[in-house]
Amino acid sequence: MKLIIGIGGVTNGGKTTLTNKLMQALPNCCVIHQDDFFKKPDQIEVGEDGFRQWDVITSLDMEAMVNTIKGWQENPVKFARSHGVSVTPKAEEQEPDNAIHILIVEGFLLYNYQHILDVYDQRYYIAIPKEECKRRRSTRTYTVPDPPGLFEGHVWPMYLKHRKEMENNCNGIEYLDGLKSKEEIYNQVYESIHNNLLNRFIAGPGSSEHLCINL
């Protein structure tokens, strides 16, 4: 059984924190970070707003990201090994379709790329208000530092644009309040994932009793 989970949301919303906690708790769980697919700085165009366009889909090598997801789909055990993820002995012995394998895809524009909208079994999106987002971003250190005015002139306008686009084109998203505690958000998502897996086991030919043990 393969499950692909999307953890999307606004910049500095808590996506990576949630992803890391889930990865530690879920069995045979791998992660793909969208940020790992940013193009080189000299490939990022300068837009009409005067800023390099980091917060748009063309700043990312989405074809490479799609191929990486396909690599996991084809052989989750091999993918896990190549990424240093421990796989349970049971999953090692069984065919991939007979064991639980989970992939979390984390990023800020997960639901704005048509070619992978249908790949997610569950979609989550973390949102926080503008001022909180600005405050959190100001405390972060980036490889390419934010130039003055970037947040107001590019980051937040692009967030609003892409969120509207996402809401128009992608259904089935569960929205998460990023102002809640990390533990509350984690518990909400973990329970949702667990229930989804449980329902799949009940609907399938196998027994659900091993699910609770593994999770």
Beta carbons of 165 and 114 less than 8 angstroms apart:
no
Beta carbons of 126 and 10 less than 8 angstroms apart:
yes
Q: How far is residue 100's CA from residue 3's CA, in Å, rounded to a whole number?
A: 8
Beta carbons of 30 and 72 less than 8 angstroms apart:
yes
Q: How far is residue 121's CA from residue 113's CA, in Å, rounded to a whole number?
A: 16
Choosing from 35, 61, 118, 121, which is the catalytic residue?
A: 35
> Token pair of 175, please?
């929205």
Residues 6+ apart with CB under 8 A from 159: 10, 11, 55, 133
Active site residue 121: no
Q: How far is residue 183's CA from residue 37's CA, in Å, rounded to a whole number?
A: 28
SS3 107: strand
> Token pair of 143, please?
């490889």
Angstrom distances, CA of residue 153 to CA of 27, 158, 189: 42, 9, 33
Beta carbons of 91 and 27 less than 8 angstroms apart:
yes
Active site residues: 35
